[in-house]
């Protein structure tokens, strides 16, 4: 893997700075194989639920894998939706690893039986992460749905029993689970897994609940301190680089990699700059285009524009800009903040003032795709009453408002009204 053309590095420049000019293949390629999902997580970054009938076929997926092999992409991060509900999922995993493209996939555990776990444990080019968003059923199921905690735990038990060592336990950090960080670590240790914490983004359905779920400012500090104290051995997906403005930089890639070293292939083959930015403004092309994925990655006009150093804009005068690089592009975009300004969760507080103006002056962007299950109830007011979980007792315990009035989601139309069954066309 090599750097794309870039200006001569300035004396004293950091090597990581050169990433701003992009690489000839992505380091972190996320591939959402399907929008189908058995769950309806309130924060789903891809608004998944129902399968899209335009989904890439098995042969199209294999052609993409062939291309990734030629580009020497080391591995793909597979998500969804719930990728394992694709009837050809295991076939695609085997095909990728046989073609020297490693696979890391994220699952809620619904298909991880004892037999599957044993099969997976035999594949050295495979990593798995099981998702939970609470260290207790009450906290987890309020976000991911009833029974989802038990499903995840059962999957981890199977992986452990099969001897799958060091699989990952994935947690999206929220206001409700930040107090459980030690408990998450204990769960990971119990099953021989490694903990990965990820930042909640206001992407997909996450836009509807971000105000209520994203960590409070004092929790950002708590999380930062916890990562500094416990970070060795805890992964973050390099997603908390905005916290580096507290002082000591966290390990990893401390810049926005969108379109530079990171991108997303969605279930229908569209290529976006970032998994958290599923919106027309960040659509670079399609693997179905002439030139395929490589053509999109190396020549799309959007990616060329993104492969320049960030100017900083309103953040340029901040002494912490070199640490946080202005934060997450998607977080700014979907909260309606300018892309050349501070992150909405800027730890120096610069984002909060802008957010205060947001409802009056700024337009919140909406995701371009919505494959949510059609169980969301639409009110006459045009606001969507979102139930975080279906257990009023758990919701009350968490002090989450059970019905969050969120404007404008009604404008998002399902991609396909026929696809009520999320698992339609899939073998059980």
The window from 19-27, 49-57, 283-291, 345-353 that contacts other proteins (CB under 8 A) reads 19-27
Distance CA 331, CA 353 (A): 15
For position 41 contacting other proteins by CB under 8 A, the verdict is yes
Q: Does 323 bind other proteins (CB under 8 A)?
A: no
d(Cα 212, Cα 176) in Å, to the nearest integer?
9
Check residue 280 and report its DSSP letter: G
3-state secondary structure of 172: strand
Residues 6+ apart with CB under 8 A from 404: 208, 209, 211, 212, 385, 386, 388
Tell me the closest approach of the beta carbon of residue 406 to other proteins, in angstroms. Answer: 19
- Binding residues among 114-153 for other proteins as defined by CB under 8 A: 129, 131, 133
Q: Does 309 bind other proteins (CB under 8 A)?
A: no
Q: Which of 223, 264, 337, 384 binds other proteins (CB under 8 A)?
A: 264
Is residue 172 at the binding interface for other proteins, with CB under 8 A as the rule?
yes
Residue 106's DSSP bridge partners are 129
Tokens encoding 301:
């006009």
Residue of 22, 23, 176, 224 interacting with other proteins (CB under 8 A): 23
Residue selected from 40, 50, 55, 75 as contacting other proteins according to rule CB under 8 A: 75
Residue with smaller CB distance to other proteins, 135 or 354: 135
The answer to whether 314 and 285 are in contact (CB under 8 A) is: no
User: E strand or H helix at 47, and its extent?
Assistant: none
Residue 104 or 412: which CB sits closer to other proteins? 104
Contacts with other proteins by CB under 8 A: the residue count is 52
11 binds other proteins (CB under 8 A): yes
Pairing of strands 262-265, 270-272: antiparallel
Strands (E), 52-125: 75-79, 102-107
Does residue 1 belong to the site contacting other proteins (CB under 8 A)? Answer: yes
228 binds other proteins (CB under 8 A): no
Distance from CA of residue 44 to its chain's centroid? 8
| 3-state SS, residue 263 | strand
Catalog residues that contact other proteins under the rule CB under 8 A. Answer: 1-3, 8-16, 18-19, 23, 27-28, 30, 41, 43-45, 75, 77-79, 104-106, 129, 131, 133, 168, 170, 172, 196, 198, 235-239, 251-253, 257, 261-262, 264, 274-276
């Amino acid at each position: 893997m090599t750097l794309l053309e870039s200006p001569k590095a300035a004396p004293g420049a950091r090597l990581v700075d050169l990433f701003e000019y992009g690489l000839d293949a992505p380091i972190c390629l996320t591939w959402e194989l399907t929008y189908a999902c058995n769950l309806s997580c309130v924060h789903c970054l891809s608004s998944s639920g129902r399968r899209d009938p335009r989904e890439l076929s098995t042969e199209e997926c294999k052609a993409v894998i062939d291309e990734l092999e030629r580009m020497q992409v080391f591995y793909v991060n597979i998500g969804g939706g719930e990728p394992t509900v694709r009837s050809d999922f295991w076939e695609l995993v085997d095909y990728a690893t046989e073609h020297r493209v490693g696979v890391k996939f994220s699952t809620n555990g619904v298909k991880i039986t004892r037999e599957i776990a044993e099969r997976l444990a035999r594949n050295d080019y495979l990593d798995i992460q099981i998702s939970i968003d609470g260290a207790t059923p009450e906290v987890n199921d309020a976000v991911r749905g009833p029974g989802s905690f038990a499903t995840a735990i059962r999957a981890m038990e199977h992986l452990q029993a099969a001897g799958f060592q060091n699989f990952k336990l994935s947690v999206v950090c929220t206001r409700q689970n930040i107090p459980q960080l030690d408990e998450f670590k204990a769960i990971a240790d119990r099953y021989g897994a490694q903990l990965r914490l990820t930042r909640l983004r206001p992407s997909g359905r996450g836009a509807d609940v971000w105000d209520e779920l994203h960590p409070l400012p004092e929790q950002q500090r708590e999380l930062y301190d916890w990562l500094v104290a416990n970070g060795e051995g805890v992964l973050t997906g390099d997603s908390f680089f905005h916290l580096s403005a507290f002082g000591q930089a966290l390990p990893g890639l401390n810049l926005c990699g969108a379109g530079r070293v990171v991108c997303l292939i969605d279930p229908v083959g569209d290529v976006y700059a970032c998994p958290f930015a599923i919106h027309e403004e960040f659509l670079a092309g399609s693997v179905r285009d002439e030139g395929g994925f490589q053509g999109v990655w190396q020549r799309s006009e959007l990616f060329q524009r993104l492969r320049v150093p960030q100017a900083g804009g309103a953040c340029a005068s901040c002494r912490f800009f070199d640490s946080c690089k202005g934060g997450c592009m998607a977080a700014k975009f979907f909260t309606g903040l300018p892309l050349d300004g501070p992150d909405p969760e800027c730890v120096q507080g610069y984002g909060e003032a802008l957010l205060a103006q947001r409802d009056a002056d700024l337009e919140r962007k909406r995701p371009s795709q919505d494959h949510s299950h059609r169980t969301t109830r639409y009110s006459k007011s045009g606001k969507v009453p979102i139930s975080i979980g279906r257990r009023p007792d758990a919701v009350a315990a968490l002090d989450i408002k059970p019905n969050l009035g969120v404007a404008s989601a009604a404008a998002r139309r399902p991609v396909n009204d026929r696809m009520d069954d999320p698992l339609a066309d899939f073998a059980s």
